[in-house]
Amino acid sequence: MPLYPDLTGASRGIGAAIALLLAEAGADIAVNYRERSAEAEQVAAAVQALGRRAIAVAADVSDNAAVTPMVSTVAAQLGPVDILVNNAGIALIRGIDDLTEADFDQTIAVNLKSAFLCIQAVLPHMRAQGWGRIVNISSGAARGAGGVGLHYNASKAGMEGLTRGYAARLVKQGITVNAVAPSLIETDMVKSGLASSPSRIPLGRFGTSEEVAQVVLMLVGNAYTTGQTLPLSGGMSFN
Ligand code: NAP
């Protein structure tokens, strides 16, 4: 079966690595991004260089008015979506006393509501085919203290609840829903402010985006795993 993933937030970091690994595995890719069109076009070009079809598609996935046309564009240009990776996320570093209501709402909208909106939009495609794979990118912060803030913890814990809720309801329809929970992967998100050092990590280094992509690919290829969260943390935590 041809694979048509829609990847949110794939212009850089973990999302870009997932796009390339899924393309190597034979998938055509919709590379979603929010504002960095040049980076997204580069990822799409790299996918095409692997011999797969790819489009870059702008959409703020926290806004249903953008998600609906994004999914229509992907379906029209690549075909029905049968793999969805909800990867888009933001990490606004805030303490208890400087966290505003706007920060909280934005974090929940981008990190959690976006997954709900995208899943709802692609479910008709997956149900029609009787096959689908949904992978939500959570974080070790869903279960641990985390370095970003309680709003981020809440958004990622919600992502894991959403994962189990959909998994239970879609299990008889050929659709699996899982989450991947990385901790401290060397991307812009970690480099741009998290006061983190590899010395905190028992393995002695940050993880790579490619290592997260490997776990996503494994979940896409596995029909018997659903409703699970797979952590990767270099030995920092054990679930
Ligand atoms: P990143 O380097 O900051 O990249 C974020 C990506 O999300 C970019 O492609 C960005 O698009 C996109 N994005 C942000 N808001 C968006 C929106 N409203 N609509 C569409 N796209 C949006 O982040 P990353 O480290 O690769 O993180 C990817 C995911 O992994 C996030 O969900 C993050 O919470 C999670 N995660 C990361 C780590 C880590 O250590 N890095 C650990 C645990 C979990 P633009 O380029 O257009 O801005």
> What CATH number has the domain bearing residue 14?
3.40.50.720
Lowest mean pLDDT: which of 27-41, 126-140, 186-200?
186-200
Please give the average per-residue pLDDT across 199-214, as a whole number: 95
Q: Is 143 in the pocket of ligand 1 (CB under 6 A)?
A: no
Residue 152 catalytic? yes
Residue 144 is assigned to a structural domain of this protein = yes
| pTM of model > 0.95 | yes
Q: Write the pLDDT tens digit of every residue in 55-74.
A: 999 999 999 999 999 999 99
Residue 35 is assigned to a structural domain of this protein = yes
Asked if the model's pLDDT at residue 199 lies above 90, the reply is no
What number of other Cβ atoms are within 10 A of residue 12's Cβ? 18
Q: Is 184 in the pocket of ligand 1 (CB under 6 A)?
A: yes
Best mutation site among 7, 21, 33, 71 for ligand 1 pocket (most ligand atoms within 8 Å of CB): 33
What is the structure's pLDDT at 2?
45
Asked if the model's pLDDT at residue 196 lies above 80, the reply is no
Residue 115 is assigned to a structural domain of this protein = yes
Per the structure, the count of domains in the chain is: 1
Of 4, 152, 166, 224, the active-site residue reads 152
Q: Write the pLDDT tens digit of every residue in 89-108.
A: 999 999 999 999 999 999 99
Please choose, from the candidates 206, 103, 86, 197, the residue with its C-alpha nearest in 3D space to the C-alpha of residue 150.
103
- 26 vs 22: CA distance, rounded Å: 6
